Amino acid sequence: MTTLTIQTPDDWHLHLRDGDMLVETVAATARCFHRAIVMPNLVPPVINAEALLGYQQRILAARPEGSHFEPLMTLFLTNQTSAEDITAAKAAGAVAAKMYPAGATTNSAAAVSQLEALYPVFEVMQEQGMLLLVHGEVTDHHIDIFDREKEFIDQKMVHIVKRFPNLKVVFEHITTSDAAQFVLDASDNVAATITPQHLLLNRNDLLVGGVRPHNFCLPVLKRNTHQQALRNVVKTGSPKFFLGTDSAPHAKEAKENACGCAGCYSAWSAIELYAHVFEELDALDKLEGFASHFGADFYGLQRNSGTLTLVREDWTIPSEIILPDGKPIVPFFAGETVHWKVQGSI
């Protein structure tokens, strides 16, 4: 096979950041994705309808000329989020609300510290048809960082889906066999996104031979048995799993220091990276569902009408990209050879 044409894909988990960085991140995403679920963990976070609409306008203003890229907006949940905040955000066009445990990842200090206190909010979301997006990790200091996802399932996730059976829940960027099995066993109202880094790498790629800061993300990479479980589940073509890059850019200087930021900037070559994985799995026929169908179906949105063509061509992801402010950023899989390329891309 030398070409592969799929229905235009979407990214169901994306960090665009804000300010000058939007010029880079919006263009990188619009290159191959028509829509993207935009994460709300800015500084300050997107906690109400007014902030949501303002951020949406900044994203739209950053689109390349002629682009029809559509940002799908989300609300940042805190323990102060009210029913009125949910209804107002829904009326403003929000499709989902994001639940971060406080301190779980970048810019999450203002997030949820008492999850059960949000149950009344989840009830309103269930009534409003607003999806709940979950960063599924506990943050207790005594819990090993490699066990935090499984502990969240046992302590929190099972109770959420049982108590709110009609609430659609996306278990985002899953990293373990435990999470994959939980989603498979759950009702059709539970699905998950999977990132390119968790399909391509395991914790050896983070730690062996020295710490590799550009492979550091949260949730952290797990052992190779968990990586293989994720690869196996996408190979099945189950509609419960779909594309979400969790692309999260940071300047090179913010990654390469004594307390480097978590996040992999994969948007720049995202669809090519997924094609690379699916070819390794001998499952290129499953890529279209994963990238273009299952996410839209779960969100209750129409599938895209256009197509995107990839060509079988080896190319090397550059070692650096220069941001609008002149600072370099290291893209995910920098310096590595990828076997597929979007037709017409540079």
Asked if 195 and 245 count as a contact pair (C-beta separation under 8 A), the reply is yes
Q: Was 13 annotated as part of a binding site? A: yes
Other CB atoms within 10 A of residue 300 CB: 10
Cα 234 to its chain centre, rounded Å, is: 16
- The rounded distance, in Å, linking the Cα atoms of 255 and 258 is 9
- The rounded distance, in Å, linking the Cα atoms of 213 and 99 is 26
Q: Was 226 annotated as part of a binding site? A: no
Name the residue type at position 339.
H
Q: Strand, helix or coil at 321? A: strand
Q: Was 235 annotated as part of a binding site? A: no
- The rounded distance, in Å, linking the Cα atoms of 138 and 157 is 11
Catalytic residue, chosen from 10, 85, 178, 246, is: 246
282 is catalytic: no
Q: Was 53 annotated as part of a binding site? A: no
246: alpha, beta or left? (left if phi > 0; alpha if psi -120 to 50):
left
- The rounded distance, in Å, linking the Cα atoms of 166 and 93 is 20
Q: Which class for 233: exposed (0-12), middle (13-18), buried (19 or more C-beta within 10 A)?
A: buried
Q: What is the number of alpha carbons within 13 Å of residue 271 lying toward its C-beta?
A: 31
- The rounded distance, in Å, linking the Cα atoms of 228 and 290 is 17
Q: Was 16 annotated as part of a binding site? A: yes
Q: Was 262 annotated as part of a binding site? A: yes
Q: Was 4 annotated as part of a binding site? A: no
Of residues 319, 230, 334, the one with CA closest to residue 278: 230
The catalytic residue positions are 246
Binding region for Zn(2+): 13, 15, 98, 135, 173, 246
Binding region for substrate: 15-17, 41, 135, 218, 250, 262
Binding region: 13, 15-17, 41, 98, 135, 173, 218, 246, 250, 262
